[in-house]
Amino acid sequence: MYTPLRLKNFMEQKGVSVKKLASDLNLSEEDIILCQNDIFKADIEVLISLVDYLDVSIDYLIGNTDNPDLHKKK
């Protein structure tokens, strides 16, 4: 489904902790950790929340493209 390594990388790049991301998205810390380890298969609402929060395209997060800025207008 999505690429958990990309989630980990963006969290590190943006300096977002598991606790903060979970709080900001109204998820449990366990859910975020499971997402990072590709155990939790995120539903569409969680994916949309993640891409909005991380400001990347959903195609990038799920591994369909290597361009995280695909959704941005020039």
For residue 10, give the CATH number of its domain.
1.10.260.40
Kindly report, residue by residue over 31-56, the tens digit of the pLDDT: 888 877 776 666 778 888 888 888 88
**Among the listed ranges 16-20, 26-30, 33-37, 38-42, which one has the minimum average pLDDT value?**
38-42
**Is 31 within a domain?**
yes
Asked whether the whole model's pTM tops 0.85, one would answer: no
**Is 68 within a domain?**
no
Question: Which amino acid makes up residue 22?
Answer: A
**Is 74 within a domain?**
no
Range among 3-7, 39-43, 63-67, 69-73 rated most confident: 63-67
Domain count, the chain: 1
How is 5-70 classified by DSSP, letter by letter?
Answer: HHHHHHHHHHT--HHHHHHHHT--HHHHHHHHTT-S---HHHHHHHHHHHT--HHHHTTS-S-TTT
**Is 72 within a domain?**
no
pLDDT (0 to 100) of residue 1: 47
**Is 12 within a domain?**
yes
In whole numbers, what is the pLDDT of the chain averaged over residues?
A: 80
**Is 67 within a domain?**
no
Provide the residue range defining the domain that includes 14.
Answer: 4-61
**Is 69 within a domain?**
no
